[in-house]
A = this chain, B = another copy of it.
């Protein structure tokens, strides 16, 4: 006998949480499909040759690795132990667990390049695994929901990402959110005009903290990272550019006038803004944020990040355009743009703002009581009628006291109970009890079905 426990950083999802999570998944899926994205799934287990080296050294460490089957240790010697765990890993493990959905998607595209219809629009909703230290809101097993279009550099795709995010969040009931947008080329342009071309990464890491630590500390950090006073002086506009998006674009154009790349970035973003408007989306909650960077080394065009306002929860979505999804697998030059939604964060936002609707339709709608063999026999065909009409229905499986059966219905959030006693059997008029209101009425099974449908 073993005392059962969950592996660290993993979770069970019971019925009430599942209903809420499925509401999120279904809302996301419906929107993805409405925009022409098709589902794919890739395996949980991937060869380590596919996964390793794609997420940096830290990522390699965080990969869950699967021990080879069979007599994996038979050729090992003390020498292998002396070489340390890292080298030993390669001798006893060839496979690992999916770390994100992007690398498996890239592998999928390369392996199916001859069959895919380009531009290829896919969505993928699956768990990923990371051997991270678990903490509040951070799990070792969690779902990602990704949508990507590859094989086109049309900015319509960026505009449609804005539309999709708007639709998903509105349908979830999250009304107050901000879709922050930037463009990698603008960041490159800034680096260029302040004379630190190629140093976007340390530059942006520092700038990114502006909200939290303020201008002075950002400048201090830049100094520590070796940026010259001249560069820092030239960076001043970033602290000063303000106004609505049109005004920011205008000032930015002036500032970056000597950087071809920077101007291209502005032009791309303005085009995205104009396409979103062209779609007739009048309430786009977008915001140009020239400090936004997210995984800078990967993105080459637009960069997205979504935050829910009014809650202290990190970003609920992020993404951007990339130029070289599949280069690492020998298929260079494939451009695409994608977005990833974090279901756990969205769940937390919705819980905190109390946004989940009552999802009665996915659990049982009505319970039929069971007092004795006669009532049970009488009830079975009624139950079949209810179900044939598409109503989720169950009978209490054993003859029991009414209190116990009502308690079962209440605890399972079943909104209606049909009471079948001897009166009901004689008259054919059944008692339908509304568990929330406590009201009850006598009705024929046909009327009950009509009412519950």
Set B34, B64, B66, B119: member contacting A390, Cβ < 8 A: B34
Contact of A40 with B14 at beta-carbon distance under 8 Å, contacts A7-B47, A397-B154 already known: yes
Q: Are B44 and A44 in contact (CB under 8 A)?
A: yes
- What separation, in Å, do the CA atoms of A85 and B69 have in the docked complex? 10
A281 vs chain B, min Cβ distance (A): 7
Distance of A329 Cα from B2 Cα, bound (Å): 5
Question: Nearest B residue to A386 by beta-carbon distance?
Answer: B34
Chain B hits for A43, CB < 8 A? 6-7, 10-12, 141
Question: A18-B39, A92-B67, A397-B119 known; A127 and B44 CB under 8 Å?
Answer: yes
Closest to A414 in B: B36
- A121 in the interface, Cβ–Cβ < 8 Å? yes
**A interface majority secondary structure:** mixed
A19 at the B interface (CB under 8 A): yes
Contact between A67 and B89, CB atoms less than 8 A apart: yes
Cα separation A73 to B107 with both chains bound (whole Å)? 31
How distant is the Cα of A38 from the Cα of B14 in the complex, in angstroms?
9
Contacts of A40 in B (CB 8 A): 12-15, 18
Report A104-134 residues with CB < 8 Å from chain B CB.
106-108, 110-112, 115, 117, 119, 121-122, 127, 129, 131
Choice from B50, B154, B157, B392 contacting A33 with Cβ under 8 Å: B392
Contact, CB under 8 Å: B127 / A42: no
Most buried by B among A1, A152, A411: A1
Q: Give the CA-CA distance A65 to B308 in the complex, in Å.
A: 39
Q: Give Cα distance in the complex from A31 to B65, angstroms.
A: 37
Q: Are A45 and B140 in contact (CB under 8 A)?
A: yes
Check A394–B50 contact: CB distance below 8 A. no
**What total of chain A residues lie within 8 Å of the partner, measured CB to CB?**
111
Q: A2-B328, A77-B81, A81-B77 are in contact. Are A364 and B394 (CB under 8 A)?
A: no
What is the oligomeric copy number?
2
Residue in B closest to A116 when the chains form the complex, CB atoms: B14
C-alpha gap A22/B42 in the complex (Å): 15
Q: B4 contacts A111, CB within 8 Å?
A: yes
Decide yes or no whether A35 CB sits under 8 A from chain B: yes
- A67 engages B81 (CB within 8 Å): no
Q: In the complex the two chains form, is A112's CB within 8 Å of B14's CB?
A: yes
A206 at the B interface (CB under 8 A) = no
Contacting residue for A39 out of B15, B131, B328, B387, CB 8 A: B15
A15 near B38 (CB under 8 angstroms)? yes
A189 and B126 alpha carbons, distance in the complex (Å): 47
Residue A384 lies at the interface, judged by CB distance under 8 Å to chain B: yes
Query: A261-311: which have CB < 8 Å to B?
Result: 275, 278-281
A377 and B278 contact, CB distance less than 8 A: yes
Nearest-neighbour CB distance to chain B for A385, whole angstroms, equals 8
A453 within 8 A of B: no
With both chains docked as a complex, state the minimum distance between the C-beta of A157 and any C-beta of chain B, in angstroms. Answer: 6
Q: Determine if B2 and A384 form an interchain contact, defined as CB atoms under 8 angstroms apart.
A: no
Find residues 309-325 in chain A having any chain B CB closer than 8 Å to their own CB.
none
CB-CB contacts below 8 Å: A37-93 with B:
38-47, 49-50, 53, 61-62, 64-67, 69-74, 76-78, 81, 84-85, 88-89, 92-93
9 contacts between A and B (CB under 8 A): A2-B53, A12-B42, A12-B43, A35-B392, A44-B141, A67-B67, A67-B89, A275-B380, A278-B377
Given contacts A35-B394, A44-B44, 15 further A-B contacts (CB under 8 A): A4-B50, A5-B111, A34-B391, A34-B393, A35-B393, A36-B394, A38-B363, A45-B64, A45-B140, A45-B141, A61-B69, A157-B397, A167-B387, A278-B381, A280-B381
